[in-house]
Copies of this chain bind each other. A is one copy, B any other.
Amino acid sequence: MQPRLSLVTLGVADVALSRAFYGRLGFVESSAGNENVAFFQAGGVVLALFGQQALAEDAGIAFAAPGYRGVTLAHNVATREQVAEVLAEAERAGARIVKPAQDVFWGGHSGYFADPDGHLWEVAWNPFFPLDAGGRVLLP
């Protein structure tokens, strides 16, 4: 696994309200978003906003589960195959696999692991978000 945090997604109660708030703060939204999700280039990382229930469901976790934090860290990879490879590496490092690598509704391929404290990492291949030479996500 390359040592890289690609995106931070915050679960929010109201995407429209939160995207307006971050817009007022000075964050500039990418055209990649839609009514359900907002993406902002936030320096060397992407900040995303997504409905809090949907964010939990994406990891296969109940929103009301004890200890659920409503935040997902993402590590984006360059190829579909690397998703399963990185998840296997994480498991060898002691991570708990939360969701095995699989195709996802938005057209990518991803899986989830949890660190020792339950912080959730998504490992994702997103064909719509290319990576630059340094492995950083380039938003459209």
Range of interface residues on chain A? 35 or more
State whether A136 and B28 are in contact (beta carbons under 8 Å apart), knowing that A71-B69, A117-B10, A117-B52 are contacts in the complex.
no
- Chain A residues near B (Cβ < 8 Å): 1-6, 8, 10-14, 17-18, 21-22, 24-28, 40-45, 47, 52, 69-71, 73, 89-90, 92-95, 115-117, 119, 134-136
Residue from the list B14, B26, B44, B69 in contact with A70, Cβ < 8 A: B69
Residue from the list B25, B47, B117 in contact with A18, Cβ < 8 A: B117
Residue from the list B1, B12, B17, B41 in contact with A25, Cβ < 8 A: B1
| Nearest-CB residue, chain B, relative to A41 | B3
Q: What 7 additional pairs, Cβ within 8 angstroms, besides A12-B117, A69-B71?
A: A2-B26, A5-B47, A24-B94, A26-B89, A43-B45, A44-B45, A52-B117
- The distance from the CB of A77 to the nearest CB of chain B, in whole angstroms, is 12
Interfacial chain B residues near A12, Cβ < 8 Å: 115-117
Interfacial chain B residues near A94, Cβ < 8 Å: 21, 24
